[in-house]
């Protein structure tokens, strides 16, 4: 069984990148073996033989035995159960199969959904188990090719997030930051999707009594133009959180008077997409192109080479490792890292 090394936070799939690179057929995971099976009245028979071999197993119920004393006989892979038709129960037949060493070596028996074992069974003509298939096999080098591609995807997705300094698919964050002589909190990640909790405490104990009520803060930013109709999730382009002075706790005047190290603890969700399907097309395409770049760099043994001579001609390689076309697609998301207002802020009153 194949074990993927693709990271949980990678936002590209192996298949979509492989299709882009034209190597889709070279990295496909072989099909798994499927056991043949058949539901006969209230019992489900499943082959214990490998793959298509199970398709040769058959089950038949014949009349003539006494309920509770069912008789099992086999000819090759043909299992015959002599029952008392209309009286023998599914439990009695199941027990008879399981007590037959030869029959139980061929099939496992379970109850059909909602069956309990008390249902009476009747004569059944010879019925073959069906659906068994053999496991597929990797093409030569296929498993290695897939792992190489997964590593390249991991590296490319990490690189894109390193450039934009935040998550592509939104993640939950918790961080402790300093007071800043302002009623504006600026988390390190963006865009803000939701704010879970804000605590402010000079002593950094952060007990439940230091939680700031949600009515006393809000996220400030541009509306996300990618928001879908009917989606009520908070989608903010920006990374400011404004705190109100509620007149009772005096948040602005008391808590933010002076810079207090580590006096604020916030929990929030931030990132450019709620799910993989929501990722901006240009970020997804930039990551795909970066995969292509790294893939062919590896194939050509060009990694970390700044120049290369080919047939007497010298070619200068990219020094920073990222082609300009990719950087141009990613840069707008990095630029949004700055909030709507300069980081050296004064208090915003009268909110």
Integer Cα distance of 263 and 216 in angstroms = 17
Q: 158 vs 17, 154, 164, CA distance in Å?
A: 15, 6, 10
Distance linking the first and last C-alpha atoms of the chain: 59
In sequence order, which ranges of the chain are alpha helices (DSSP H)? 14-21, 90-99, 101-106, 142-164, 281-299, 324-335
Residue 32 structure tokens: 């798994």
pLDDT higher than threshold 70 for residue 268: yes
pLDDT higher than threshold 60 for residue 342: no
pLDDT higher than threshold 60 for residue 315: no
Q: What is the mean pLDDT of residues 291-297?
A: 92
pLDDT higher than threshold 60 for residue 305: no
CB 133 within 8 A of CB 34: yes
CB 268 within 8 A of CB 196: yes
| pLDDT-above-90 percentage for the chain | 54
Helices 142-164 and 14-21 cross at an angle (nearest 10°) of: 100
pLDDT higher than threshold 50 for residue 344: no
Q: How do residues 81-91 score in pLDDT, each as one tens digit?
A: 999 999 999 99
Burial code (b: 16+ CB inside 10 Å, e: under 16) for 174-200 equals eeeeebbebbbbbbebbbbbebeebbb
Report residue 313's pLDDT band, with 50, 70 and 90 as the boundaries.
low
Report residue 220's pLDDT band, with 50, 70 and 90 as the boundaries.
confident
Distance from the Cα of residue 125 to its chain's centroid = 46
Range name among 65-74, 231-240, 269-278, 303-312 with the lowest pLDDT average: 303-312
Helix (H, G, I), strand (E, B) or coil at 6: coil
Q: What is the mean pLDDT of residues 322-346?
A: 66
Helix (H, G, I), strand (E, B) or coil at 33: coil
pLDDT at 252: 46
């Amino acid at each position: 069984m194949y074990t993927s090394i693709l990271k949980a936070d990678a936002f590209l799939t192996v298949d979509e990148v492989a299709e882009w690179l034209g190597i889709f057929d070279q990295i496909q995971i072989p099909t798994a073996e499927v056991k043949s099976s058949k539901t006969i009245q209230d019992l489900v028979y499943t082959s214990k033989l490998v793959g298509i071999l199970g398709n040769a197993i058959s089950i038949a119920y014949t009349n003539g035995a006494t309920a509770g004393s069912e008789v099992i006989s086999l000819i090759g892979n043909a299992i015959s159960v002599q029952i008392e038709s209309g009286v023998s129960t599914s439990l009695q037949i199941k027990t008879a199969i399981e007590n037959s060493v030869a029959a139980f070596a061929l099939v496992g028996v379970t109850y059909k959904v909602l069956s309990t074992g008390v249902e009476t069974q009747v004569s059944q003509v010879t019925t073959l188990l069906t659906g068994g298939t053999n496991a597929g096999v990797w093409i030569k080098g296929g498993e290695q090719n897939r792992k190489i591609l997964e590593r390249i995807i991991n590296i490319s997705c990490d690189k894109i997030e390193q450039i934009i300094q935040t998550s592509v698919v939104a993640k939950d964050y918790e961080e402790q930051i300093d007071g800043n002589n302002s009623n504006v909190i600026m988390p390190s990640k963006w865009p803000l999707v939701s704010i879970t909790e804000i605590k402010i405490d000079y002593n950094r104990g952060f007990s439940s009594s230091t939680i700031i009520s949600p009515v006393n803060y809000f996220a400030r930013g541009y509306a996300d133009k990618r928001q879908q109709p009917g989606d009520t999730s908070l989608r903010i382009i920006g990374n400011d959180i404004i705190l109100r002075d509620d007149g009772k706790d005096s948040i602005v005047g008391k808590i933010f008077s002076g810079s207090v190290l580590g006096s604020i603890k916030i929990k929030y969700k931030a990132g450019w997409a709620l799910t993989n399907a929501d990722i901006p097309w240009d970020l997804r395409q930039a990551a795909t192109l970066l995969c292509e770049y790294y893939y062919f760099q590896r194939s050509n043994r060009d990694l970390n080479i700044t120049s290369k001579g080919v047939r007497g001609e010298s070619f200068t390689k990219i020094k920073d490792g990222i082609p300009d076309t990719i950087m141009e697609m990613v840069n707008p998301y990095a630029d949004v890292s700055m909030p709507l207002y300069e980081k050296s802020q004064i208090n915003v009153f009268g909110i």
